[in-house]
């Protein structure tokens, strides 16, 4: 959450903060804090998807969460693991953006990965399961909108 100093390396400071950036403004900016919290929750959520899809897909909990029989889970476990890796990459991108030492660039990274999650969530909601729209796309969309305010 931009825990890193805005002035990293060479003693140079970050460029002035613009509207929507995660860093800057008055200390304790409620909108900034909300965006960091929501982004962190989304990143953790996607780490959970990584774990479920990669390691628990054929286990009772994974089958229950995704509504699969053991036979279907066994047939699709390689695809699920691949999907899990992609969710892990989305999480890593959000974390990278939150921790990037340049607040302006970190904000752009977060926004990009939120946009990727929105697109993936809409596609998954249309092609796989409607609840993906609410579990994946909607939180990312709300966070992205808050970033633009």
Rounded CA separation 68/59 (Å): 10
Q: Of the candidates 121, 125, 126, 114, which has an alpha carbon nearest to the alpha carbon of residue 137?
A: 121
Instruction: Provide mean pLDDT across the span 51-55.
Output: 97
Least confident of 16-30, 39-53, 71-85: 16-30
For a pLDDT cut of 70, what percent of the chain falls above it? 82
pLDDT (tens digit per residue) in 54-109:
999 999 999 999 999 999 999 999 999 999 999 999 999 999 999 999 999 999 99
SS3 content of the chain, % helix, strand, coil (to 5): 70, 0, 30
pLDDT (tens digit per residue) in 84-97:
999 999 999 999 99
Are 2 and 99 in contact by the 8 Å Cβ rule? The answer is yes
């Amino acid at each position: 959450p931009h825990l890193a100093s805005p002035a990293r390396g060479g003693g140079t400071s970050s460029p002035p903060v613009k509207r929507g950036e995660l860093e800057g403004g008055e200390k304790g900016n409620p909108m900034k804090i909300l965006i960091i919290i929501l982004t962190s929750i989304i990143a953790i959520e996607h780490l959970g998807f990584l774990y479920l899809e990669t390691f628990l897909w054929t286990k009772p909990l994974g089958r229950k969460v995704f509504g699969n029989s053991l036979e279907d889970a066994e047939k699709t476990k390689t695809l699920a693991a691949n999907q899990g890796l992609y969710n892990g990459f989305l999480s890593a991108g959000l974390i990278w953006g939150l921790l990037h030492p340049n607040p302006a660039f970190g904000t752009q990274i977060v926004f990009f990965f939120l946009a990727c999650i929105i697109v993936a969530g809409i596609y998954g909601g249309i092609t796989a399961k409607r609840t993906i729209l609410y579990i994946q796309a909607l939180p990312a969309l709300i966070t992205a909108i808050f970033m633009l305010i």
